[in-house]
Structure 1
Amino acid sequence: MRAVLHLTLGLFLLLASLGTASAHALEPGYLDLRQLTPESWQVFWRKPDVNGAPMAIDAALPETCTPATGGEAKSDGYAWITAWVANCPDGIGGGEVRIPGLQLQRTDVLLRLQPLDMQATTVRLTPNAPAYAVPETLSGGAVFLSYLGLGFEHILEGWDHLLFVFALLVLIRDPWRLVGAITAFTLAHSITLALAALGHISVPGPPVEACIALSIVFLAVEILKHEDGAARLSERAPWIVSFSFGLLHGLGFAGALIEIGLPQGDIPIALLAFNVGVELGQLAFVAGVMACFVLLRAAWPGLVRAFRKAHSTGISVLGYSIGGVATFWLAERIAGF
């Protein structure tokens, strides 16, 4: 039993240490190249803010373009902006667009190419691939994969969303009810994600983030109030709870997507890809938790037996740990108003 307590308290300390960090670490740069004439391109370059200064990255067009890089960036209060018109007499097809310094960062850059006579396309540059070789013929086929990857990474970097899903796994004992709860959560956040990203609803970010933390506190309380033989509403019909709170979490996802931006002309496919990426990340997390339990049971059967013998105590420790982290986030976010 002591091992269970140590393991759970270790989880609490790990999550609490992450509490001071943003729940959504995804703050990509954005480079938009819009062709004005056969030889000129309008360049819009937005790089993230790091402690009041621009991130140490830059945007470089093919060497045949003049100028290939922009001037001094100016802050808009959220990020650092540079805009210029580049003359590219040979075009940019066959050239390379680079983000110097990206290989040293922990973020991505979305590159949007909008030629005059071809379909626009969006690609994702990463620290492992900070350059893009522009093909002679551009297409929009990369949009889906780019936003799919962004959605997948966002859910895995959103500790509050993952803790909510983990709390559902702890609270709901019946497999089919668990499937129903996760399905309802998926449906709900898909609705608000689409509505908010398309501008049909607008809710300030800080209250949404505080309510997301409050939703985890609620699940922790439900875990602690569980009694064998007397299932609460959250256990009998968990899809009601997960759907309701899923609407809030969808607004949180939308906040990150709005910061990234949706490519004009490819909004439906980008929105679908981002949402699919979120779902794949969520499923990967659930599968990872289940795999960890299987491996733990195989490698340390004594711990599992001890947990089963003191099931109610172990669940209580998990409930208090989840609730403690969520309460810390709630207080931090309310203080940030």
Structure 2
Amino acid sequence: MIRQVFLGIVLLCATFSGHNAAYGHALQPGYASLEQAGANTWQVYWRKPDVSGRPMPIDLTLPAGCAPQTGPLPTAREGAWEASWTAVCDGPLPGGTMSILELEKTQTDVLLRISPLEGTTVSLRLTAAKPSTIVPVNPDSLDVFTAYVGLGFEHILEGWDHLLFVFALLVLIRDFWRLVGAVTAFTVAHSLTLAAATLGWVTLPPAPVEAVIALSIVFLASEIALSRDGRARLSQSAPWLVTFAFGLLHGLGFAGALKEIGLPQSDIPLALFAFNVGVEAGQLAFVVAALAAMAVISRLLLKGPLLAYRPVSLFMAYAIGSLSSFWLIERIISFGTA
């Protein structure tokens, strides 16, 4: 049994290694907004992530015909660094090149939103692989859809509390169709609250929401530890009830991130839909990868399914419970400083 437990440790570490486990989410993406105030005047807002109490060393650069091309030193605000300035451009912004200096040296994305007085608001996504872009002259809805699908996909893959919840479901629920029903209920629930909270229909303080998200993972860990063959618990016999309830809370967490990113006012429904598509694509990719890893280990190294060994599932229950309990305590302590 020691061998099986060791393999369980390897699987769990491989799934959640290489990232800062102390926080449920990785750094939020950068965000830049340019709103046209006059014929040649643009109001620029630039927000970049905080890294250990300092601004990430990236900078927004406007097209060559604009002055100034870069803004003043940013100031700290709510876990990020912000700067605002007025730029005068000697020509139209569409057709010009926007860049994020040093973005290629990071793993961060930047969402760029350009709102002209006349025409369609443009939402573009800059990445380490593509740190600059030409502002489209005739933008279409495909630009918005592509940008927000990518942001949703990356957000779920960097949201380790959400992924740990899904991973706990994989460990807890062995019946395939019940697992499908549980994941579907989770998807429906967080889609509802993601839309409701982003549109301002539901408002809750983010700190308690994040704490309860951690608590939901603690609950699943306890269910794994207490489960026994032949005696299915509620989370196993009717998992969709549990995942739907907790999915409502996880959707509020997604909405908090989406509010930080911002939405194009002219394409809010499309951006919401695209972000949710990206979240679901990332979640599906994670589920496939985790199941594939379990299948490979079971096929090559064991005589049966990995999770059929009680010591393995018990170890995973305590590992998941320990990490989520740490998040829970950390987030409760942060109530006074939020």
Task: Report if aligned partners of 2:4, 2:311 keep a CA contact under 8 Å in 1.
Answer: no
What is aligned with 2:326? Answer: 328
User: Deviation of residue 325 (structure 1)?
Assistant: 1.9
SS at 2:82's partner residue? strand
Distance in 1 of aligned mates of 2:18 and 2:136: 45
User: Deviation of residue 154 (structure 1)?
Assistant: 0.8
> Does the C-alpha gap of structure 1 residues 304 and 319 become closer, same or farther in structure 2, counting only changes over 3 Å?
farther
User: Deviation of residue 19 (structure 1)?
Assistant: 6.0
Distance in 1 of aligned mates of 2:21 and 2:172: 26
What is aligned with 2:162? Answer: 161
User: Deviation of residue 112 (structure 1)?
Assistant: 0.6
What is aligned with 2:316? Answer: 318
Task: Report if aligned partners of 1:8, 1:321 keep a CA contact under 8 Å in 2.
Answer: no
User: Deviation of residue 41 (structure 1)?
Assistant: 1.8
What is aligned with 1:170? Answer: 171
Distance in 1 of aligned mates of 2:96 and 2:13: 49
What is aligned with 1:195? Answer: 196
What is aligned with 2:6? Answer: 6
Distance in 2 of aligned mates of 1:11 and 1:299: 14
Distance in 2 of aligned mates of 1:229 and 1:296: 25
- The TM-score, its normalising length taken from structure 1, stands at 0.92
SS at 1:37's partner residue? coil
Q: Which moved more, 1:227-236 or 1:173-182?
A: 227-236
Distance in 2 of aligned mates of 1:263 and 1:26: 21
Task: Report if aligned partners of 2:23, 2:327 keep a CA contact under 8 Å in 1.
Answer: no
User: Deviation of residue 304 (structure 1)?
Assistant: 4.2
**Residue identity in the other structure for 1:334:** I
> Does the C-alpha gap of structure 1 residues 87 and 220 become closer, same or farther in structure 2, counting only changes over 3 Å?
same
User: Deviation of residue 6 (structure 1)?
Assistant: 1.5
SS at 1:200's partner residue? coil
Distance in 2 of aligned mates of 1:8 and 1:331: 26
Are residue 229 (structure 1) and residue 230 (structure 2) matched?
yes
Task: Report if aligned partners of 1:26, 1:256 keep a CA contact under 8 Å in 2.
Answer: no
**Residue identity in the other structure for 1:316:** L
Q: Which runs of 5+ in 2 are unaligned?
A: none
Distance in 2 of aligned mates of 1:291 and 1:12: 13
User: Deviation of residue 66 (structure 1)?
Assistant: 1.8
Distance in 1 of aligned mates of 2:228 and 2:237: 13
User: Deviation of residue 178 (structure 1)?
Assistant: 0.9
1:296-318 Cα offsets, whole Å, 9 max, x none, are 23432xx344957x722332222
> Does the C-alpha gap of structure 1 residues 156 and 33 become closer, same or farther in structure 2, counting only changes over 3 Å?
same
> Does the C-alpha gap of structure 1 residues 304 and 205 become closer, same or farther in structure 2, counting only changes over 3 Å?
farther
Distance in 1 of aligned mates of 2:263 and 2:312: 45
> Does the C-alpha gap of structure 1 residues 13 and 293 become closer, same or farther in structure 2, counting only changes over 3 Å?
closer
**Residue identity in the other structure for 1:336:** S
What is aligned with 2:207? Answer: 206
Spell out the pairing of 1:1-337 with structure 2 (5 A cutoff).
Answer: 1-10=1-10, 15=16, 18=19, 20-300=21-301, 303-305=302-304, 307=306, 311-337=309-335
SS at 2:91's partner residue? coil
User: Deviation of residue 134 (structure 1)?
Assistant: 1.8
> Does the C-alpha gap of structure 1 residues 131 and 304 become closer, same or farther in structure 2, counting only changes over 3 Å?
farther
User: Deviation of residue 152 (structure 1)?
Assistant: 0.6
Distance in 2 of aligned mates of 1:119 and 1:253: 26
1:98-153 Cα offsets, whole Å, 9 max, x none, are 11121122211111111222111100011111101123333343111111111111
**Residue identity in the other structure for 1:295:** V
**Residue identity in the other structure for 1:7:** L
Distance in 1 of aligned mates of 2:303 and 2:330: 35
User: Deviation of residue 20 (structure 1)?
Assistant: 4.5
1:215-243 Cα offsets, whole Å, 9 max, x none, are 11111111122222221221111100110
Number of corresponding residues? 334
Q: Which runs of 5+ in 1 are unaligned?
A: none
Task: Report if aligned partners of 1:40, 1:89 keep a CA contact under 8 Å in 2.
Answer: no
Distance in 2 of aligned mates of 1:313 and 1:72: 54
Distance in 2 of aligned mates of 1:18 and 1:39: 44
User: Deviation of residue 61 (structure 1)?
Assistant: 0.9
Distance in 2 of aligned mates of 1:335 and 1:13: 26
1:199-258 Cα offsets, whole Å, 9 max, x none, are 111212221122111111111111122222221221111100110111111111111111
